[in-house]
Amino acid sequence: SLRKMVQEQTKHVAICGGGLVGALNACYMAQRGYRVDVYEMRQDIRTQEIVRGRSINLALSCRGREALKGVGLEETIVKNGIPMHARMIHDRDGKRRPILYGTRDQYIMSVDRRLLNEVLLTEAEKYENVKLHFNHKLLTCNFDTGEMLFQNEKGDQVKASVDLVVGTDGAFSAVRKQMMKLSRFDYQQTYIPHGYMELNIPPSADNEFAMEANYLHIWPRNEFMMIALPNLDRSFTTTLFMPFDIFSSITDERQLMDFFTDKFPDSIPLLGQEALKKSFLSSKPLPMVTVKCEPYHVKDKAVIMGDAAHALVPFYGQGMNCGFEDCIVLNDILDQCGDDFAKALPEYTRIRNVDAKAISDLAMYNYVEMRSSVNSKLFLIRKKLDNLLYKLFPKTWVPLYTMVSFTRIRYHECISRREWQDKVLTHTLRTAAVLGGVSLLVSAHALYRHQGALEMPGWLQAGISLVEGWVRG
């Protein structure tokens, strides 16, 4: 009966969605001693040969790694990832030039999505208080009673009743859909005009990487771009991001080859002409959506996390990292609130919402940086200046990309710190320009005086009286 009593007091949580964030969160909640049931719509990916879905590999950075560390998985994942120290820019004439992400010892990692999800599911299953239910699609849930309704693979309906519903069911979340029926729930969804298509650069004939391995390769072409991330099997998953109307204007082999010859000539031998034709013309570009909403919780009964709460465009490589960090943030808040959901969930919304909105805006901004700004001289000068100041003042001047990818500084603070840096730079440049102008005038004035006979030109006289007036008044 003691066991029964303990069981009755144990909090019972249902995690809807056994993707990346759901599987990680199951580990965190299991560590807290909750009884955890994970319901995943798909089959168990560990038993399938081919898994269809989104991007094959992902960039893992500091926030994601910290979250994996919390459940003892950082080492395993890092061991199976490939470090990327810099962007490798491919110019149209085939020239390649690296742009470091941070200092030489800072890097992001290319990891395999499927492997990551499998490792996380296997880890979750190790806890005896976690149970995984595959082929269970959430249909509805009741935020007053905690009752949930699923459909299994046979089409039968399955019921469950829990203390807390956690929605980690992705960008088209069913839990969120249910929340949208409640009053005062804000929701905003935007599709960008660009789609993406995945292509593949296989290993070279001698089974080596066909390009430098430890880079995130980018072909920035202003309006669109292609990127490539390395895989363990020495191939590169290559993703073309482009407006849908350009995708649809390419309908046959000739148009395709003309387009690639003009825009990405050095990639053709890497992708292989025949393979490129085959995969491009038989695939459809996929859309990208961004979702912002608020609040993330309903009373003490439900909370949404990961893409369900904040789908981002993928250009900062932060979607999963942010979703993983969600797990740490909620876990810390549950610690502070002594597992009282009524206190913890509103606090989670309060803390996390500003940060998720901030990274959502940054991700949108980075799309322009990746496809276009990296081509600009001014951008490269700013990057160099940022890195120099970072070396001189490592605590106060942390470049934006470094804050986002290599620290856990809150996302909204990354934005405010960057705004402060911009202000300091603008102010310094303005002051330098004024001082430069003044010393020019003073020198010119002295020169004319020295020559004596010459009449001073009007602009110099006007300039001198301006400076005099400024000094006096």
Structural tokens at position 431: 């002051």
Check binding of 170 to ligand FAD (CB under 6 A): yes
Q: How far is the CB of 55 from ligand FAD (least distance, A)?
A: 4
Q: Minimum CB separation from ligand FAD for residue 396, in Å? A: 27
Q: Which of 178, 238, 321, 360 binds ligand FAD (CB under 6 A)?
A: 321
Sign of CA dihedral 161, 53, 236, 85: negative
Choices 38-46, 76-84, 184-192, 253-261; region in contact with ligand FAD by CB under 6 A: 38-46
Q: Tell me whether residue 125 or residue 253 sits nearer to ligand FAD (CB atom).
A: 125
Query: From the list 70, 195, 230, 317, which residue makes contact with ligand FAD (rule: CB under 6 A)?
Result: 317
**Which span (261-269, 319-327, 393-401, 456-464) binds ligand FAD, by CB under 6 A?**
319-327
- Burial bucket for residue 6 (CB in 10 Å: 0-12, 13-18, 19+): exposed
How many DSSP H helices and E strands does the chain contain?
17, 19
Under the binding rule (CB under 6 A), the answer on residue 168 touching ligand FAD is: yes
Stretch that binds ligand FAD, among 75-83, 118-126, 305-313, 332-340 (CB under 6 A): 305-313
Name the one range near ligand FAD by CB under 6 A: 40-48, 386-394, 401-409, 416-424. Answer: 40-48
Among 28, 34, 39, 134, contact with ligand FAD (rule: CB under 6 A): 39
Interface with ligand FAD, residue 230, by CB under 6 A: no
Closer residue to ligand FAD in complex, CB, 59/73: 59
Determine if 295 is a binding residue for ligand FAD (CB under 6 A): no
Helix (H, G, I), strand (E, B) or coil at 36: strand
Positions 119 through 158 that interact with ligand FAD (CB under 6 A): 137-138
Question: Which residues touch 277 (CB under 8 Å, ≥6 apart)?
Answer: 253, 256, 257
323 is an interface residue for ligand FAD by CB under 6 A: yes
Burial class of residue 392 in the structure, from the number of CB atoms within 10 Å of its CB (0-12 exposed, 13-18 middle, 19+ buried): exposed
CB 240 within 8 A of CB 199: yes
Among 306, 346, 399, 463, contact with ligand FAD (rule: CB under 6 A):
306
Contact 418, 426 (CB under 8 A): no
Pairing of strands 186-201, 164-167: unpaired
| C-alpha span between 322 and 335 (Å, rounded) | 20
In DSSP notation, 397-442 reads ---HHHHHHH----HHHHHHHHHHHHHHHHHHHHHHHHHHHHHHHH
Give CA–CA dist 64/159, Å, rounded: 33
Instruction: Return the bridge partners of 287, or none.
Output: 195
Judged by CB under 6 A, the stretch of 34-42, 119-127, 200-208, 389-397 that binds ligand FAD is 34-42
Work out how close the CB of 163 gets to ligand FAD at its nearest, in angstroms, rounded to a whole number.
19
- Closer residue to ligand FAD in complex, CB, 323/399: 323
> At its nearest, how many Å lie between ligand FAD and the CB of residue 363?
9
In angstroms, the CA 19 to CA 17 distance is 6
> What are the beta bridge partners of residue 86?
100, 215
CB of 472 to ligand FAD, least distance (A): 58
Residues in region 48-77 near ligand FAD by CB under 6 A: 54-55, 58-59
Which listed range, 169-177, 199-207, 344-352, 440-448, lies at the site for ligand FAD (CB under 6 A)? 169-177
Interface region with ligand FAD, contact rule CB under 6 A, candidates 14-22, 79-87, 274-282, 351-359: 14-22
Long-range contacts of 258-264 (CB under 8 A, 24+ apart): 263/92, 263/219, 263/221, 264/90, 264/219, 264/221, 264/226
Residues 251-290 vs ligand FAD: string with x where CB under 6 A? Answer: ----------------------------------------
307 close to 323: Cβ distance less than 8 angstroms? yes
> Is position 42 an interface residue for ligand FAD (rule: CB under 6 A)?
yes
Q: Which conformational region is residue 67 in: left (phi greater than 0), alpha (psi within -120 to 50 degrees), or beta?
A: alpha
Name the nearest CA neighbour of 78 among 104, 47, 110, 101. 110
Q: Does 167 bind ligand FAD (CB under 6 A)?
A: no
Q: How many residues of this chain bind ligand FAD (CB under 6 A)?
A: 32
Question: Please, what is the minimum distance in Å from the beta carbon of residue 171 to ligand FAD?
Answer: 6
178, 267, 318, 353: which one binds ligand FAD (CB under 6 A): 318
Determine the 3-state secondary structure of 57 from DSSP.
strand
Q: Which residue has the tokens 């990551």?
A: 116
Instruction: Select from 15-23, 95-103, 339-347, 369-377 the region that touches ligand FAD (CB under 6 A).
Output: 15-23
Separation of alpha carbons 297 and 344, rounded Å: 10
User: Which residue of this chain has its Cβ atom nearest to ligand FAD in the complex?
Assistant: 19
* Cis geometry, peptide bond prior to residue 83 (ω within 30 degrees of 0): no
Helix (H, G, I), strand (E, B) or coil at 14: strand
Q: Which residues bind ligand FAD (CB under 6 A)?
A: 16-22, 39-42, 54-55, 58-59, 137-138, 168-170, 174, 196, 306-308, 314, 317-321, 323
